[in-house]
C-alpha cells in the first residue's frame, strides 16, 4: 500500500518537473507570438499582458511592407531546399561508401574527415570566402549553397546507422544480383528513414537559421535570406518590439510547421530501436 503511494508521489513529481520544462521551452515562443498581435502600448505594459486584447494584424502588415520579406522568404526557401537536396544526397552516398564499400585507407580517410569537424566554422569562413570570391559567385545565392552541399557530421550519423543494418541484408541482395546503387536506394535508404528525417530536419533548421555566412557572403537585398533580413529589419523598421515579434514569427513559422509535420517520424525513429530480422 505504502509502495503504491510512493510510486504515485514520484509520478506527480515527475510530471511537475516535465511540465515546468515544457513551459520553459514554450514560453519564449508564446511570448513572441502574442507579442506580434499586441499594440505598442500593450508590449511595454507592466505587469505584462498575457492575452492581447485584440488580434490585430497591423504588425504583420507593417513587417511585410517595410522589408522585402517576400524576397527574403523565397531566397531562404531556395537556399534551404538546395542545401537539403545536395547535402542529403552527398551524405547518403558518403555514408554508404564509408559503411559498406571496402577500399584502401577507408577508415583513415574517415578519421581525417572526423578530425576536420574539430575546426570551428568561424575558422573556415576566410577560406570559404576566398573560394567564392575567386569563383566569382560572391553575392549570389550560389554562395549560400555551395559551402553547405556536404556535411561530415551528418555523414557520420548516417554512417553509424547504416553500419547497424545487418550485413546479411547486403549479402542477400547481392546474391539476388542487386547492384550497390539499387541496394542503397531500395533497401538502405528506406530502412534508414528515421535517421534521414532527423538529419534533414536538423539540416533544415541550420540552413534556415544560418546568419553569419549569409551576412558575409551577400550584400544586396535581392539575395538576402530571412535571418539577415530580420537583422536588417531592426534598423530599417526601428526597434519596435511588437513589429520585431511579428517579423520573427514570420521567420520561425515554417520551421515550426516543418517540425509539427515531421514529429511522427522523429518519434518513430526514437521508438523503433534496433532492427529485428
Partner 1 sequence: MKITIENLTKQFDNHLAVNNFSAQIESGQLVSLLGPSGCGKSTMLNMLSGILTPSQGKIWFDEDDVTDVAAEKRGVGLVFQNYALYPHMTVLENICFPLEIQRVPKAERIARAKEMAQLVHVEDLLDRLPKQMSGGQQQRVAIARALVKKPRLLLLDEPLSNLDARLRIEMREEIRRIQQSIGITTIFVTHDQEEAMSISDAIILMKQGVLQQMDKPQELYDQPKNCFVADFLGNPTINKLNAVYEGGRLLVEGMPCDIETSSVPASAPLYLSCRVESVLINQKPSSIKGTIIDTYVIGKENIANIQVGNSRVRAYIDSDSALRPTEEVTLSFKNKGVFLFDANSGERYI
Q: Which parts of this chain interact with partner 1 (CB under 8 A)?
A: 166, 168-169, 171-178, 182, 186-187, 190-191, 193, 275-277
Q: What angle do CA 124, 129, 132 make, to 5 degrees?
A: 125
The least distance separating partner 1 from the CB of residue 111, rounded to whole angstroms, comes to 22
Instruction: Give the residue with the Cβ less far from partner 1, 10 or 171.
Output: 171
The single residue listed with the C-alpha cell 535571418 is 227
Q: Which residues of 150-176 are buried (b: 16+ CB within 10 A; e: fewer)?
A: bbbebbbbbbebbeebeeeebeebeee
Which residue, 32 or 178, is less far from partner 1 as judged by CB?
178
Least distance between partner 1 and beta carbon 160 (Å): 18
Contact 189, 199 (CB under 8 A): no
- For partner 1, the closer CB: 11 or 193: 193
Cβ-based neighbour number of residue 29 at 10 Å: 13
Find the shortest distance in angstroms from Cβ 228 to partner 1: 40
Q: What minimum distance in Å lies between the beta carbon of 185 and partner 1? A: 12
- Closest distance between partner 1 and the C-beta of residue 201, in Å? 20
Shortest reach from residue 91's CB to partner 1, in Å: 19
Q: Of 122 and 176, which has the nearer Cβ to partner 1? A: 176
Nearer to partner 1, 107 or 176 (CB): 176
Would you say 123 and 57 are in contact if contact means Cβ atoms under 8 Å apart? no
User: Measuring CA to CA, how many Å separate 27 from each of 20, 123, 223?
Assistant: 10, 34, 33
| Least distance CB 93 / partner 1 (angstroms) | 20
- Tally Cβ neighbours within 10 Å of residue 88: 21
Which one, 136 or 268, has the nearer CB to partner 1?
268
Measured over the CA atoms of residue 27, residue 31, residue 32 and residue 33, the dihedral's sign is positive
- 2 vs 276, beta carbon nearer partner 1: 276
Region label for 238, one of left (φ > 0), alpha (ψ between -120 and 50) or beta (otherwise): left
CA dist 150 to 85, 154, 181, 238, 266, Å? 10, 8, 19, 38, 22
Amino acid at each position: 500500500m505504502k509502495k503504491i503511494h510512493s510510486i504515485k508521489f514520484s509520478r506527480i513529481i515527475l510530471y511537475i518537473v516535465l511540465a515546468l520544462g515544457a513551459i520553459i521551452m514554450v514560453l519564449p515562443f508564446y511570448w513572441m507570438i502574442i507579442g506580434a498581435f499586441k499594440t505598442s502600448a500593450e508590449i511595454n505594459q507592466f505587469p505584462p499582458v498575457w492575452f492581447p486584447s485584440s488580434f490585430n494584424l497591423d504588425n504583420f502588415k507593417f513587417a511585410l511592407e517595410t522589408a522585402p520579406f517576400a524576397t527574403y522568404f523565397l531566397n531562404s526557401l531556395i537556399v534551404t531546399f538546395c542545401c537539403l537536396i545536395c547535402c542529403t544526397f552527398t551524405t547518403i552516398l558518403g555514408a554508404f561508401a564509408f559503411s559498406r564499400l571496402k577500399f584502401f585507407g577507408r577508415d583513415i580517410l574517415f578519421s581525417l574527415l572526423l578530425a576536420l569537424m574539430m575546426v570551428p566554422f568561424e575558422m573556415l569562413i576566410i577560406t570559404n570566402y576566398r573560394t567564392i570570391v575567386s569563383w566569382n559567385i560572391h553575392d549570389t545565392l550560389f554562395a549560400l549553397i555551395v559551402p553547405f552541399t556536404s556535411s561530415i557530421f551528418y555523414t557520420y550519423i548516417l554512417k553509424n546507422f547504416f553500419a547497424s543494418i545487418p550485413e546479411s541484408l547486403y549479402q542477400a541482395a547481392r546474391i539476388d544480383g542487386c547492384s550497390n546503387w539499387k541496394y542503397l536506394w531500395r533497401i538502405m535508404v528506406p530502412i534508414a528513414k528515421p535517421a534521414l528525417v532527423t538529419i534533414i530536419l536538423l539540416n533544415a533548421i541550420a540552413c534556415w537559421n544560418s546568419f553569419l555566412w549569409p551576412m558575409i557572403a551577400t550584400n544586396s537585398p535581392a539575395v538576402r535570406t530571412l535571418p539577415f533580413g530580420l537583422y536588417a529589419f531592426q534598423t530599417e523598421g526601428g526597434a519596435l518590439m511588437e513589429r520585431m515579434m511579428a517579423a520573427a514569427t514570420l521567420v520561425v513559422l515554417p520551421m515550426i510547421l516543418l517540425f509539427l509535420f515531421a514529429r511522427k517520424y522523429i518519434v518513430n525513429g526514437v521508438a523503433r530501436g534496433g532492427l529485428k530480422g
